[in-house]
Structures are given as structure tokens and as C-alpha cells.
Amino acid sequence: MRVRPPLVIVGVGLVAGALAGVLGAQAFADDPAAPAPGAAPSAQGRVASPAGTHSASPSGSPSGSPSAEPSATSDETPPGFRTTAQHLLPDLAAAVASAGTFTFTIELGDETPPFTGAARVVGTRSDVVAEMHEGPDHVEIRLIGDDMYASMGALTGGGWGHGPRGFPADPFSGVYAQLVEIADLAAVLADAQPGVVSVGPAGDPESVGGFSATPYDVVIDMRRASGSIRASYEQNLSSSSEYDPMSTMRLWVSGDGLVRRLSDPDSGGGITYGDFGEPVEIEAPETFTEIEYTH
């Protein structure tokens, strides 16, 4: 029997399950002088606020200045994108690049709290910041260039840990980093395109964040994909020779060519996007400690 892959979004369900083993674990030596577990990190790296900007919210709507996005898109608006296998993802990637920034909410399903954050597009990927609150605990991940910064309370000694972006070997920060990586819409679209097999409508338009968005199913051969999608496939293939390389990504797209939601049709998890073009602020923490990777 062939094992179905956990999709392009690197298996939201699988990553969510791994979080249970991460929360409360001790990855660093106890430091009596460190802030209490769950202490909030510095405000740097979050969505910028007051001065003409706004803070992120689970709904993806601004809490400060008016949104730079247009009002709800009408079903009669001519599509700002082409729906062929060759053109859909490049057209959607161009719309994301034109917007430059966006906010997102990663919904994991079950009782796991969502991750909320923001991204700034840089080429074919983005700098990303995301945070999750689990009771008194606070987790924040920043992906900037080739670097990853993680603040996970006691797991990072009450401060910030630093390591390479991608698929870090550290089992704790790595789980969170992989989860946040899937919210990088620019990278997902670019990495998926080489493996696109087919594109087709997946139902009638739905309201997503106040916008009328049409769902499309994109079938992807992960063996031909690039970046994190290909890396995810190879990582899972190493544990199962029966790993199915074919996967489906469902995208809800509004008439302006912006992706409003991304999900695996079978996993139950997904990512909702909004606030395209709003100012965001993503910076590296001033101080951090190198994460000691386990093998």
C-alpha cells in the first residue's frame, strides 16, 4: 500500500501532532537568571503597529490603519490570473510579489492553538515571523534570509535560539520552523510549480476573509518540485519506500489573483491569508544563543 503524502504544506497534521511532544520539553540547560518559561520575546519582528501600521490578528484583519486591500471582490470581477497548469501558480506568485507583504493564520485543527504571523516577500521566498500562545507559553519563530530564530520559553533558556533555516536537525525548534515555513506563500508557489501536473476547479466560490474566492485543486508530483516541497518528499521517502509522490494542494483565489486560503483537502488543516500590502516589521533579535543540534 502506498502512503499518501502529507501534501505540499509539509503535512500540517503531522507537524501539529509533533507539537504535543515539544510543548513543555527541556531542550536547553536551566538558567536561573532566565525569564520565566513562556515570557514574551521582544516586540521586534512582529507585525508593526501604531504609526500607520497594524498588528496581526487571527482573522487576518487589521486592528489599526485601514487595509490596503480593496473591499470584497465581486464574483463578476474578471480573473486576474490564468487557470492553466502552466500559468496558475506563476500568476498567483506574481500577485503575491506585487503585494509585497501579507499576514496569515495557520489552523492546525483539533485543540492546537493557531499560529498567526506576517511575511515580507524577498524574491521567491519571504522573511516570516509567527507566534503561538499555548496557555501561559509563548512561541515565536522568525525566518530571515537563511537564518532561523526561535523563542520558546524554557526550551530556549528564556531567550532566543539561532540556527539555519530549512530543515534543522533540532527536534524542538525544527518542528516549529517547518510549520512556519509552510506559510511562506511565495516559496510554496515557486517550489510547487515545477511539479504541477494539473489544475482544476474544486467547487463554487466561497467567502474567505470577506472576499469571494474560487477553490482550485493543484495536483503536484513532489519528485519534480523544488525547495522545501522536494525536501519534504525526500525526508518522508527515507522512512517509507512506498511514499506516494503525488499530492494535492487546494487554493482559494479571489478575483484579484491573491490566494486567500491554502489547504490539503484531506488533512483538515490550512492557512488563511490577508492584509496584502500592509506594512510589516521583521527583524532579527538583538541577542541570541546558537542552538545545539541533536543527531
Between residues 79 and 243, which one has the greater pLDDT?
A: 243
pLDDT reading at 76 higher than 50: no
Residue 50: DSSP 8-state: S
Nearest partner of 46 among 119, 138, 151, 136, judged by Cα: 119
Length in residues, the chain: 295
pLDDT of the residue at 54: 31
DSSP string, 82-146: --STTTHHHHHHHHHHHH-EEEEEEE--TTPPPEEEEEEEETTEEEEEEEEEETTEEEEEEEETT
Average pLDDT, the chain: 75
> Could you tell me if 185 and 259 are in contact, meaning their C-beta atoms sit under 8 angstroms apart?
yes
Nearest partner of 10 among 272, 238, 222, 190, judged by Cα: 222
pLDDT of the residue at 147: 93
When pLDDT is cut at 50, 70 and 90, the band that residue 4 belongs to is very low
Q: State residue 203 phi and psi, 5-degree precision.
A: 140, -175
pLDDT of the residue at 269: 82
pLDDT of the residue at 291: 79
> Who contacts 276 (Cβ-Cβ below 8 Å, separation ≥6)?
68, 69, 96, 99, 101, 102, 258
pLDDT reading at 22 higher than 50: no
What are the tens digits of pLDDT across the range 77-112?
Answer: 446 799 999 999 999 999 999 999 999 999 987 777
